[in-house]
């Protein structure tokens, strides 16, 4: 299944706020109408919707998300917590959480178009897994810095998670540590996502 490219409001009206997908919000009235029509949800639908939240927030294909679930299942620790850490440490998400991009799709464009350096080297793979002590900067080109400055101007610095540090005047972000799963910027029951996939196999 390919990455979703359809109407974003359609997804957030059904699944709730997805800051990685879009920073806009639907009208409250439309949310209430949808909730009133939904009725009682089955356990399968609840797990499915939690999985869809994760998929659309991080901008993943079904195959990509399943791959992350399998990696997390083989790692030490809670599968659900490791899954969130893997997704949060992606380069495109790190740029989004730093405020250097307004959404994860915008962050992915920056990476794909070679506007981003990690430890002084261009990285054009959005799924690149960042590590503690990684230094993320804009490529030293006016176009790159202008794009990122526009995103920084519209972001909220107080929302920066503790595992990251931003130096806005240098167009630089630092990864201090692996994120604590409690600091994930999405209201999600990650355990239900793992349960969804465990019941599909």
Structure tokens at 183: 């600091």
Mean per-residue pLDDT for 104-108?
Answer: 93
**Domains along the chain?**
8-86+183-198 (1.10.1050.10), 90-177 (3.10.290.10)
Mean per-residue pLDDT for 50-59?
Answer: 90
Decide which of 133 and 42 is more confident.
133
Q: pLDDT tens for residues 141-159?
A: 888 999 999 988 887 655 7
Q: What is the DSSP string of the chain?
A: -PPP-S-HHHHHHHH---TTT-S----HHHHHHHHHHH-SPPHHHHHHHHHHHHHHHHT--HHHHHHHHHHHHHSSS-HHHHHHHHHHTBHHHHHHHHTSSSSHHHHHHHHHTT-EEETTEE---TT-B--TT-EEEE-SSHHHHHHHHHHHHTS-GGG--TTEEEEGGGTEEEE-SPPPGGG-SS---HHHHHHHHHTT-
Would the pTM count as exceeding 0.85? no
Mean per-residue pLDDT for 58-85?
Answer: 93
Confidence class of residue 33 from pLDDT cuts 50, 70 and 90?
Answer: very low
Which of 12-26, 43-57, 78-92 has the highest mean predicted lDDT (pLDDT)?
A: 78-92
């Amino acid at each position: 299944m390919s990455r979703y490219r359809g109407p974003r409001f359609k997804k957030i009206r059904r699944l709730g706020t997805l800051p990685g997908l879009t920073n806009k919000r639907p009208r409250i009235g439309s949310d209430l109408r949808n909730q009133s029509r939904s009725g009682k949800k089955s356990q399968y639908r609840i797990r499915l919707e939690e999985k869809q939240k994760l998929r659309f927030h991080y901008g993943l294909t079904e195959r990509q998300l399943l791959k992350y679930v399998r990696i997390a299942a083989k790692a030490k620790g809670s599968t659900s917590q490791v899954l969130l850490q893997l997704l949060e440490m992606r380069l495109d998400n790190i740029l989004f959480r730093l405020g250097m991009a307004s959404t994860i799709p915008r962050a992915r464009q920056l990476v794909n178009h070679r506007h981003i350096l990690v430890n002084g080297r261009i990285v054009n793979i959005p799924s690149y897994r960042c590590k503690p002590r990684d230094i993320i900067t804009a490529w030293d080109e006016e176009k790159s810095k202008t794009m990122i400055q526009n995103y920084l101007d519209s972001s909220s610095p107080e929302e920066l998670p503790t595992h990251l540090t931003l130096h806005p005047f240098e167009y630089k972000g630092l990864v201090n540590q692996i994120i604590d799963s409690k600091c994930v910027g999405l209201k999600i029951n990650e355990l239900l996502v793992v349960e969804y996939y465990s019941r599909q196999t």
